[in-house]
Chains A and B, each alone.
Chain A
Amino acid sequence: MKKKLLFVLAMILAATGITALIGVAAKGPAKKEGKRVVTSFYPVYLLTQKVAEGAKGVEVWNLTSNHSGCLHDYTLKTQDMRLLSEAELFLINGGGMELFLEKAAKECKGLKIIDTSEGFEFLAGVEHHHDHAAEEDEHDHEGHDHVDEDHDHEAEDHDHEEESHNEAEDHDHGERNAHLWLDVDGYLLQLTRIEAALCEMDPAQEELYHRNAANYRKELMCLRQDYADAKALLSGRDTVVFHEGFVYLLNMLGIETLHCLPMDSETQISAGEAAEIIEECALHGVTVLFATEDYAEMIQRTFGTETGCRVVALHAIDSSMGALGKYGEKEGYLELMRENLNRIKEAYGKAETDQRAN
């Protein structure tokens, strides 16, 4: 017994030694200097960097820097918790994007959390596969047994959305489409919130924050104008998208999303859904589908040949991976949004030439 106990203890001691060595070797997070601002999510991080550019004694960190895609399934790592527990300000995307937050925030008392999307009117999100984005009420339903026929009008508090946006049928769950950064207006709102939060945290450099924000606001307004100009050419079309954020993006162009099927690593398209989408494409004369770069090829295989649609890859701008690297963090958003616009225009251009040729 004694020998065995000694053996067990020796084994544990050895393991402790190894752990200690690793602990010494691993360098902790950089010592905090000045004020620390942590953002939860890439689009917020990009904006915050813009506003805090050149600020002294302020460091901006992003929690989920290596995470690809949206945060719905993100779990906090120890490094994240360390970042947060020493931060002054935590800027989040809001709209239900940060599901992991509730707990983490409680653990870090004294941390100020700012919801950068506060006041934004979110579209309803996609909850389950039967409630797909409903069409505008005045939209033509003729000869089409549509699932949304018995569209529920009693949700009075949503009537703004019902007038002008696509929305999901089922309000019960209060799911929101949190991808507001793909709507330039939403991004502008986030910019304003971030500007205010930074000014409040660090009034000494207020002027700088206001100046930075004003400069970037101008650039975003230009971008918005580009979209508004393109709207004249593109509006009135219907499409199906495979990322919730694209509903916002295409809304700016007046392109109607008939159906939104968010794809992520755990999603498999069910046979019923696939059939529904194919039918819908045929019925509404959809010519172009939109997916993220990760899924475009797969969607092309599943739906491209079946529907004769062109599948176009757009940027969701939700992580540091992929396309953002090409332009860098400073200009990434603007460049990618322009690239998105060009791809949309080009795709419809081609699709319509094809149609005329046939």
Chain B
Amino acid sequence: MEFLNYGFMKNALLAVLIITPLFGILGTMIVNNRMAFFSDALGHSALTGMAIGVLLGFSGTGVPMLLFALAFALLLTYMKRKSTASTDTLISVFSSLGTAIGLVVLSRGGNFSKYSALLVGDILSITAKEILYLLGALVLTLVFWLVFFNRLHAVSVNQSLAKSKGISVRLIEDLFAMLIAVIVMLSIRWVGILIINALLILPAAASANISSNMREYHLFSVILSVASGVLGLVLSYYLNAAAGPTIVIVSAVFFLVTLLAKPFFAE
């Protein structure tokens, strides 16, 4: 446990202990509601959010990124509802556009390298204050989960049925999209655009391999998420590798093992 002698590792571990259960819970909801591609698009839109921040001359790019992501999420859900184009096509268009605008603005004069940390994230540089923000995000997610989970689940199973039960599908969808936007933007600097979705989806997907009910699904997702986060971080310390990608690799191994084990748990 020698690594805990270092302040930066303590902070990173603390951040992982907050982000991973958060991602574990959010991931299950995302997978359930078939929004995996949506959260990925949101991650990519962070580039445009940052570009807007840079253009407007914000010193920190956090606020414009967050506002842009919220607008992006709401617009996307709106288009999804109204448009006749298929959802994955729409999301793909939004995702590419978000990336492209960000790249055009941020790479003016070959200076993109300044922002490329956003691509893979850097959890080792997280500070105490930023950990508090993440804690806030975790609380927000838990509250949303406790209050809305049943309704969100109903929407994911059958929209018309949910409507007939008096659930406002639109409201639930919008709120959920906004929640994803907030969480993605708060964690993207630590996790990175290229891998954030892997962290959101992999634990839930691994859990889905072996679960037969909602309780198992959520429990295993959170356990696997936390385990891969902590183990990935420790591994990255010993292997001198980047932390985020190492966590993803551990998650992916868990996913593959559960996939192989799936037949044994089929009931």
Contact = CB atoms under 8 A, between A and B. Distances in A.
A72 B112 CA distance: 9
A81 B125 CA distance: 9
Given A73-B113, A99-B114, A12 B238 contact: no
B254 to A, nearest CB: 6
Interface string A117-136: 00000000011110100000
Given A1-B216, A4-B216, A266-B107, A22 B113 contact: no
Contact of A19 (B124, B210, B231, B240): B231
Main secondary structure on B side of the interface with A: helix
Contact residue range for chain B?
Answer: 35 or more
A225 B7 CA distance: 48
Contacts of A12: 223-224, 227, 231, 254
Given A16-B231, A73-B113, A267 B107 contact: yes
B116 A73 contact: yes
B108 interface: yes
A252 to B, nearest CB: 24
Contacts of A8: 210, 220, 223-224
A107 B11 contact: yes
Nearest to A267: B110
Most chain A beta-carbon neighbours within 10 Å: one of B11, B237, B253? B237
B250 A76 contact: no
Nearest to B106: A266
B117 interface: yes
Contacts of A76: 122, 124-125
Contacts of B9: 78, 81
B147 interface: no
Given A28-B2, A82-B6, A104-B125, A15 B240 contact: no
B248 to A, nearest CB: 14
Contacts of A129: 108-110
A77 B111 contact: no
Contacts of B110: 126, 129, 261-264, 266-267
Interface string A310-331: 0000000000000000000000
B217 to A, nearest CB: 11
B120 interface: yes
Nearest to A13: B227
A267 B241 CA distance: 25
Contact of A81 (B2, B6, B111, B112): B6
Interface in B100-135: 107-114, 116-117, 120, 122, 124-125, 127
A82 B242 CA distance: 14
B107 A78 contact: no
B125 A103 contact: yes
Interface string B198-242: 000000000000110001100110011001100100111111111
A19 B112 contact: no
Contact of B241 (A77, A106, A263): A77
Interface in A193-230: none
Nearest to B192: A75
Nearest to B236: A78
Interface in A1-24: 1, 3-5, 7-9, 11-12, 15-16, 19, 22-23
Given A8-B220, A19-B234, A126 B120 contact: no
Given A3-B265, A100-B122, A264-B110, 17 more contacts: A5-B220, A11-B257, A11-B258, A15-B254, A16-B231, A19-B235, A26-B238, A28-B2, A75-B117, A78-B241, A81-B6, A81-B124, A107-B124, A127-B108, A129-B109, A262-B109, A264-B113
Interface of B: 2-3, 6-9, 11, 107-114, 116-117, 120, 122, 124-125, 127, 210-211, 215-216, 219-220, 223-224, 227-228, 231, 234-243, 250, 253-254, 257-258, 261, 265
Q: Which 3 A-B pairs have the closest CB atoms?
A: A128-B108, A73-B113, A103-B125
